[in-house]
Chains A and B, each alone.
Chain A
Amino acid sequence: MKRASLYHEQTARKRIASLVDPGSFTELLPPPERVVSPYLPLLDIPVSFDDGLVIGRATLGGKPVYLAAQVGQFVGGSVGEVHSAKLTGILKAAARDAIPCLLLVESGGVRLHEGSSGEIGISEAMRAVFECRAKGVPTIAVIGADIGAYGGMGILVTCCDFRIMTEHGRLGISGPIVIEKWMGKQAYDSSNRALVWKTSGGKTKYLLNDADVLTHDDSASVGAAIGELLSKSQPITLGGLKTRQQELEKRLGDFGKTSDPEEIWKAFGIADIGEASLASGPEFVALAKRKTP
């Protein structure tokens, strides 16, 4: 038997290679161009040739796509000046060329070492996402790594058309340690991994509709999910925003006082918490009675 390579364990480059049509990927601003962080050397921190973001063009099932894959191991996948410029650039190219843009996300958010340049950079990238949406160009975020999408990247992925998650991915703004620091260990024990994933992990995000799809943790499944969404885009309309607002208000009403994520699971028809915890992404989807909007 050979186990499929698991998405959450792959490097950014390996993820790209596993998802796209073989040999179809051309990297933009590749390592030899040495477009590296201007700030990290000043802090005696090693630079990376791609500043933690690999961007380029490829085809997926014959269809052209632009891609950006974050390197979670490099300074936590955090977004610095160069990284965000590459991200903004690829999104703008997508908008310009009317070609879908895939974001393979693995980031804690803004790179604090680079101060406001990272913050400004992420904001510019968000603007570029909206440029895509205004033109009906699909923007799809895959959140399937343990680091997840946090901080500014958590916000950015929510601006995209779609979010594909796996059971390993997490989505949020403040990380578990920060939550514990502010709310106390009784309220939230950040060392309890089961709790952390039940709060912000793919399974719960899928139930609550923050994730559109919950797939298996391998590139074939992620690729198939992307394929389904490549021709779809959701325009941002006033009507759409109001509907979303109502959904969120209902969610707050239903779960605002819930302190145990397992209660949310039960509310979505999960009878056996143990079985659902052990379940893979697709198994969990089969167990839950999630309402699609």
Chain B
Amino acid sequence: MAPTPKNTRQLNKEERIRRIAGMTNGKFVSSNQVADVLKLIIEPDDILCLEGDNQKQADFFANQLATLDIKDLHDIHLVMSCITLPAHLELFKKGAVKQVDFCYAGPQGQAVAELLAEGKFPIGAIHTYNELYARYYMDLTPRVALIAAVQADRAGNLYLAANTEDTPAIVEPTAFSNGIIFAQVNEIVDSIPRIDIPADQVDLIVEAPYPMHLTALFTRDPAAITEVQILMAMMAIRGIYQEYEVQSLNHGVGFNTAAIELLLPTYGEELGLKGKICNYWMVNPLPTMIPAIESGWVKSVFSVGGEVGMERYTAARSDIFFTGRDGSFHSNRPMGQLAGHYAIDMFIGATLQIDINGNSSTVSKKRITGFGGAPNMGCQPMGRRHPTKAWLKVGAESNPGPGAIPGRKLVVQMAETFQSGRVPTFVEELEAQDPNIKKALHGVAPVMIYGDDVTHVVTEEGIANLAACRTIEERQAAIRGVAGYTPVGLKRNMKETQELRARGIIRLPEDLGISPSSVSRSLLAAQDIKGLVRWSGGLYDPPSQFIDW
């Protein structure tokens, strides 16, 4: 007979804490003791969450874990959002990990692919962010969570500052299931500006010898924006933003969307769109948003994380950005992702590879990048019930049947037909469909966004309205119609393409009233980082790698 479950987790936690009794000063651990503490509080078969968010990393913990021998750290079920540091890979090289569940591995994509090929990267599944956090409350509840915060006070309360990101999603399920929460902080102070995580949810704290790793991931230099990206941005604004009266949106990070942001105060203004579109945003505090914000385009911005250099600007613009009672910026990845699922008219982002059915992925044989938030934003929210103009308009275009939801979210994929090195974006079959990749992922190809969810594809050749396509054959023809001179595009049937154009399913720049000669970098509200600093009235502090004056 199985024993009745009682409070074994609580008892086991107390035992683990007892093991390190002499090594701590209350909750506080000194940095030279961290490796030994980790050995004792982590047990084999634990679900271990190491905070590796998109931007901030608990890198001190990662480095300390990497020093542990396999006899002290083994059979770990690792759960984390983003695998970004070489130290993360060490755990796999040593064979300490029996299973990993994660979302994104962009910076280490190549190394992950190599480890996978060597059989050293045992994937449970690749998730989108909210999906992973949801499982923290179900079958992936962390036993031990190693998190990163900016400051702690003497009582053990934590201040997360601008980069809240995933921390609440990690802390809550762990704290309320008798898990152990160990925080690395940049410094311990007498009083913190505001309490983001209360002390009674934190078990252990260490003042790390160096500040946590934090990357400026979302900063795009306007000087690098090309004429082709400006053409595509103009097409998107005219053909989609204006056409569907997009009120609320999320921009996937990249130069294509940065170009759109910088065109709102100029081209958008020319079209008379200020106040009519783009009022509510779910994006990080992107420096390229500064001109639109300063020009009065934006009512509010909620963010999943911060952005290095935007601290003073966001604090000075609390009408637009969410800030705490202390005046400084606040973000939240799970909630921002939730907004990006249910509460936006449109998601628009770029991708590296699209197949003839509209499926896209950034995963290839040589790079396992994972998904991040794209599947969540770039999918149809079937649980949505509130209507907006845009939702109803796209919904009507897609001819819903009697059992279908009447509205659709705009899910827009932007891509130039060729990537750098003249590699075609459009392919007959995604590299992600490779049998070895599928095998490693238990039979499911890592498709990031499914063609059935995509409403529009924007290339430099034109816009394809997939939502209005009645059959899969029509959809394929529409995609080929905007796939330019890639091998996929060259297979298009001229008669079919012309017919789709006549129906408005394919629209070329000239159909939108855009002539390539009107495309000019002078349409960008700011032409370089220095320009953004000037727009911000000196409030934006670019990281040093962006300063060239």
Contacts and interface: CB of A to CB of B under 8 A. Distances in A.
- Contact present between A and B (CB < 8 A): yes
Interface in B378-402: none
Nearest to B526: A3
Contact of A278 (B522, B524, B549): B549
Contacts of A194: 547-549
A6 interface: yes
A181 B522 CA distance: 36
B33 interface: no
B549 A197 contact: yes
Nearest to B525: A3
Interface string A248-289: 000000000000000000000000000001100000000000
B525 to A, nearest CB: 7
B186 interface: no
Nearest to A280: B534
A1 B295 contact: yes
Nearest to A274: B538
B549 A1 contact: no
A9 B269 contact: no
B270 interface: yes
Contacts of B269: 1
B549 A5 contact: no
A238 interface: no
A2 B548 contact: no
Contacts of B295: 1
B520 interface: yes
Interface string A1-37: 1111110010000000000000000000000000000
A6 B533 contact: no
Contact of A277 (B522, B525, B527, B549): B549
Contact of B523 (A3, A193, A277): A3
A77 to B, nearest CB: 19
A193 B223 CA distance: 14
B522 A1 contact: no
Contacts of B525: 1, 3
Of listed A2, A3, A4, residue having the most chain B CB within 10 A = A3
Nearest to B538: A278
Nearest to B549: A277
B521 A9 contact: yes
B530 interface: yes
A193 B522 CA distance: 23
B285 interface: no
A9 B531 CA distance: 14
Interface in A159-189: none
Contacts of B547: 194
B265 interface: yes
B433 interface: no
Contact of A9 (B265, B522, B530, B533): B522
Interface in A182-220: 193-194, 197
A9 B266 contact: no
Contacts of A4: 522
Nearest to B295: A1
B266 A1 contact: yes
Contacts of B527: 3, 6, 9
A2 B266 contact: yes
Contacts of A3: 266, 522-525, 527
A264 to B, nearest CB: 16
Contacts of A9: 521-522, 527
A235 B523 CA distance: 43
A162 to B, nearest CB: 26
B337 to A, nearest CB: 34
Of listed A6, A193, A194, residue having the most chain B CB within 10 A = A6
B370 to A, nearest CB: 32
A72 B527 CA distance: 19
B234 to A, nearest CB: 14
A1 B265 contact: yes
Nearest to B547: A194
A277 B527 CA distance: 16
Nearest to A8: B527
Interface in A27-83: none
A209 B547 CA distance: 26
A4 B531 CA distance: 13
B266 A278 contact: no
A277 B534 CA distance: 11
Of listed B295, B523, B549, residue having the most chain A CB within 10 A = B549
Contacts of A5: 520, 522
Contacts of A278: 530, 533-534, 538, 549
B548 A197 contact: yes
A3 B520 CA distance: 11
Contacts of A1: 265-266, 269, 295, 525
Contacts of B270: 2
Contacts of B265: 1
A3 B533 CA distance: 16
A185 B522 CA distance: 36
Sort A-B residue pairs by CB-CB distance and give the 3 closest, nearest first: A193-B548, A5-B522, A277-B549
19 contacts: A1-B266, A2-B266, A2-B522, A2-B523, A3-B523, A3-B527, A5-B520, A6-B521, A6-B522, A9-B521, A9-B527, A194-B547, A194-B548, A194-B549, A197-B548, A197-B549, A277-B549, A278-B530, A278-B534
Given A9-B527, A193-B549, A197-B549, 17 more contacts: A1-B265, A1-B266, A1-B269, A2-B266, A2-B270, A2-B523, A3-B266, A3-B524, A3-B527, A5-B522, A6-B522, A9-B522, A193-B548, A277-B549, A278-B533, A278-B534, A278-B538
Interface of B: 265-266, 269-270, 295, 520-525, 527, 530, 533-534, 538, 547-549
Interface of A: 1-6, 9, 193-194, 197, 277-278
